[in-house]
Amino acid sequence: MSTNIREQANNKVNIASTARQERTPLAHQTGQVLVTFGMLFKHVPPFNETIDKSTGETLIAIGRKLISAQQS
């Protein structure tokens, strides 16, 4: 019984590890897109006049977290 539970736990760990490895390129690219949009919203006049500055800063912060999560 305990070996069966141990095998199931090992399978879950392997599946989670594989999913994390597959997710990292997407997370990195998504982070880059969010940083780009944040910079646009913060610095380009048509956007920064209509969109709140904190929105751009929030997108940049989230994007940088996603980019750094890929490197971990």
7 found inside a domain: no
- As a whole-number percent, the residues of the chain with pLDDT over 70 amount to 65
In a domain, 1, yes or no: no
Is residue 32 one of the residues assigned to a domain?
A: yes
C-beta atoms surrounding 20 within 10 Å: 12
Q: Is residue 39 exposed (0-12), middle (13-18) or buried (19+ Cβ within 10 Å)?
A: middle
Specify if 34 maps to a domain.
Answer: yes
Q: What pLDDT, on a 0 to 100 scale, did the predictor assign at position 25?
A: 86
* Any domain includes 9: no
Residue 2 in any domain: the answer is: no
pLDDT digits (tens, 9 = 90+) for 29-53: 999 999 999 999 999 998 888 888 8
Q: Give the total number of structural domains in the chain.
A: 1
**pTM of the predicted protein model:** 0.64
Domain of 58 in residue numbering reads as 25-72
Q: How far is CA 25 from CA 13, 37, 50, in A?
A: 20, 19, 32
Q: Please check whether residue 67 lies inside any domain of the structure.
A: yes
How far is the CA of 17 from the CAs of 10, 21, 23, 38, 53, in angstroms?
A: 11, 6, 10, 30, 37
